[in-house]
Chain A
Amino acid sequence: MTTTENERTFTVTGQDWDELTDALKDVKDERIVVNMGPQHPSTHGVLRLILELEGETVTEARAGIGYLHTGIEKNMEFRSWTQGTTFVTRMDYLSPIFNETAYVLGVEKLLGIQAEVPEKADVIRVMLMELNRISSHLVAIATGGMELGALTVMTIGFRERELCLDLFEFITGLRMNHAYIRPGGVAQDVPEGTVARVSEFIELMKTRLTEYAALCNANPIFKGRLEQVGYLDLEGCLALGLTGPILRSTGYPWDLRKTQPYCGYQDYDFEVITWDTCDSYGRFRVRLAEMWESLRIMEQALKRLKDLDGAPVMVADKKIAWPSQLSVGPDGQGNSLDHIRHIMGESMEALIHHFKLVTEGFRVPAGQAYAAIESPRGELGAHVVSDGGTKPYRVHFRDPSFTNLQATSVMSEGGMVADVIVAIASIDPVMGGVDR
């Protein structure tokens, strides 16, 4: 405890509550400022909340961010366009595939090659995005449950997410930070057995998602904590720029996959899920139901994938397509030996070509483009600027977590301090995306 003329500061870490209550015994003023975080299990990573309390009522709530700022946007200005995917995938670490897709769509727009991206690449992108949406929503629901004290929701959420990550590892080689979606297509064709493994996952998820519904949907404690908490109506959402499940929980069916389709979403049959309560419970139900729709889309994508065996996954333009292919070597991963044989032993031109593309990269015509996609958290936009060079001139990500987190104050002020946690969990901010 430190004391100055007008105020006293306590540091509470979990054990020394007696000191706090004793010291506050004779205080008449009920007003107290609580600094929650940045290291607190209930604040989704390194989020700092500054709460002003009157008894147990929150009179003012502010969010302090920036603890996870990594300068990704700045770093990208010093690497090639292809290397950019390696950076953006690390922004919002729960939805890496979406970050890559938004960035890549922006680059492809500037290159003017949207129409040339092969169908199979689009199908793979859609399938992985929906798989990623499921894994992201699972974490949103799991951590949200944990913060309420519903530990089972957390354990079963992470159990299923693990299956998603296994699939990612199988297809892209990595559980997270894939850098799999590249300008012009995807890095590599899906491995043999993908359709079977993903179908198995879909069938399993159909039983598991039912368990979630049975555990939570009508659970009186769960509903008691979530209903009418974190209320924000349509007008508030639009003023604050909120999108995603928060916007859809107000009953407005705005989903970029439907309204401004990309990657061929117009060819898939799915519903936009809405709820009409504008509260945390509605957002939970929207996320749960969206996972069912994602499974539907994945099933359709798998059906297409079966017919596209052996089809190209990268644009035909050799001035853009990444030349090298990967293969699993004795040490795990490495360059395809066939490709090495080709460039080292058979074709001087192929070697030059490989060298130029890998070291220098391709040039992107000067201009700017904005590509927006529907990430699990809302509109994820990539503003990509090129000066005609081999490196991005500027890349800015409009991350939905960053924008949505602005609603913390309006969702929590006037409510109980315990409801702040619920409201934030319903926003589902990912600090890697907020701070970038």
Chain B
Amino acid sequence: MSDQNIGQNSGMFGVNDTGDTSGYGGLTRRHTMPSRISDVGVQPYGGWFKEIADALAFTDAEAVIHRGELTFHVRRERLLEALQMLRDELRFELCSGVSGVHYPSDQGKELHAVYHLLSMTYNRRVRVETSAPDADPHVPSGVAIYPTLDWHERETYDMFGIVFDGHPGLTRILMPDDWPGHPQRKDYPLGGIPVEYKGATIPPPDTRRSYS
């Protein structure tokens, strides 16, 4: 499994049309997320990481250990099995909710749904991440396993357009019901109007020249 590419920057100020006089115009910077360990069953982990990786091996999950946190990337078809296993066998009683992230440059896996689970029995945290392509933004709903996901999934649907199949009532929750688009996606502009200040016009934040 190659590393997840999350974008590329060139130059310094994100200026494309006029000459960049900063001298940094030739710089290109690739960004990748921390590496994944693809065969979770055989990798050497320390302590309880191994216990969980072994238990989740049947889902073909990929693991990331970064900054002391354990993340499992699970294919969406196996998500519910993984959550069920984590709740019932590994005692992750509390789900802190789901948060969406949009990675437009992660081809075929643009939309990510990130679940944070907490085991109060063992005092552990684990993160489960699944993804769906923009063209088919469907992820199974975890409400039957963690009822708390009800509003969290509605929010993620509202903000990213991820459709949680099997949710009891997947409607918008923060935006008005007739709102077009999903605001937290990277292709959705921030909006705003130019502001005049002391004779000069300041463009809205997302169209300003900024460091990249």
Interface residues of A (CB under 8 A from B): 65-66, 69, 71, 73-75, 77-79, 109-110, 112, 238-243, 254, 259-260, 359-361, 366-370, 372, 379, 381, 383, 385, 387-391, 393-394, 396, 398, 402-403, 405-406, 435-436
Contact = CB atoms under 8 A, between A and B. Distances in A.
Contacts of B118: 372, 379
B170 to A, nearest CB: 15
B146 A402 contact: no
Contacts of A369: 67, 69
20 contacts: A65-B173, A66-B173, A66-B175, A74-B184, A74-B190, A77-B190, A78-B190, A78-B206, A109-B67, A239-B148, A241-B96, A241-B97, A366-B6, A366-B34, A370-B127, A383-B116, A391-B210, A394-B99, A403-B148, A403-B152
B123 A259 contact: yes
Given A75-B190, A240-B148, A394-B101, A387 B205 contact: no
A366 B172 CA distance: 31
B31 A388 contact: yes
Interface residues of B, number: 50
Contacts of B61: none
Contact of A388 (B29, B68, B95, B147): B29
B120 A254 contact: yes
B146 A239 contact: yes
A385 B120 CA distance: 25
Contacts of B102: 394
Contact of A367 (B66, B206, B210): B66
Interface in B19-68: 29, 31-34, 66-68
Contacts of A73: 159, 184
Contacts of A79: 205
Contacts of A385: 101
B166 interface: no
Contacts of B66: 367-368
Given A367-B34, A370-B127, A393-B6, A238 B190 contact: no
Contacts of A71: 183, 190
B130 interface: no
Which 8 A/B pairs are nearest by Cβ-Cβ distance? A241-B148, A396-B99, A66-B174, A69-B174, A388-B31, A78-B205, A360-B211, A387-B31
Contacts of A435: 174
Given A241-B97, A241-B146, A254-B120, A69 B33 contact: no
A315 B7 CA distance: 30
B182 to A, nearest CB: 11
Dominant secondary structure of chain B at its interface with chain A: mixed
B116 A398 contact: yes
B83 interface: no
Contacts of B69: 109, 368-370
A405 B148 CA distance: 10
Contacts of A370: 69, 96, 116, 125, 127
A233 B23 CA distance: 63
Interface string B134-161: 0000000000001110111001000100
A237 to B, nearest CB: 9
A315 to B, nearest CB: 17
Given A75-B190, A109-B67, A398 B96 contact: yes
B211 to A, nearest CB: 5
Nearest to B12: A360
B107 interface: no
Interface centre among A78, A369, A390, A436 (most CB of B within 10 A): A78
Nearest to B97: A398
Contacts of B71: 368
Nearest to B29: A388
A403 B149 CA distance: 9
Given A66-B173, A243-B94, 16 more contacts: A66-B174, A69-B175, A75-B190, A77-B190, A241-B146, A242-B148, A254-B120, A366-B31, A367-B67, A368-B71, A370-B69, A381-B97, A387-B31, A389-B212, A394-B99, A436-B174
Contacts of B68: 109
B114 interface: yes
A74 B93 CA distance: 30
Nearest to A396: B99
A254 B93 CA distance: 13
A112 B67 contact: yes
A372 B212 contact: no
Contact of A366 (B33, B190, B206): B33
A361 B184 CA distance: 23
A389 B14 CA distance: 12
A406 B151 contact: yes
A239 B68 CA distance: 27
A243 B118 CA distance: 12
Contacts of B155: 402
A75 B205 contact: yes
B95 to A, nearest CB: 6
Contacts of B211: 359-361, 389-390
A403 B205 CA distance: 31
A80 to B, nearest CB: 8
A381 B96 contact: yes
Nearest to B172: A66
B34 A260 contact: no
Nearest to B150: A406
Contacts of A254: 120
Max chain B CB contacts within 10 Å: which of A69, A361, A385, A387?
A387
Interface in B95-139: 95-97, 99-102, 114, 116, 118, 120, 123, 125, 127
Contacts of A241: 94-97, 146-148
Contact of B33 (A361, A367, A396): A367
Contacts of B210: 78, 391
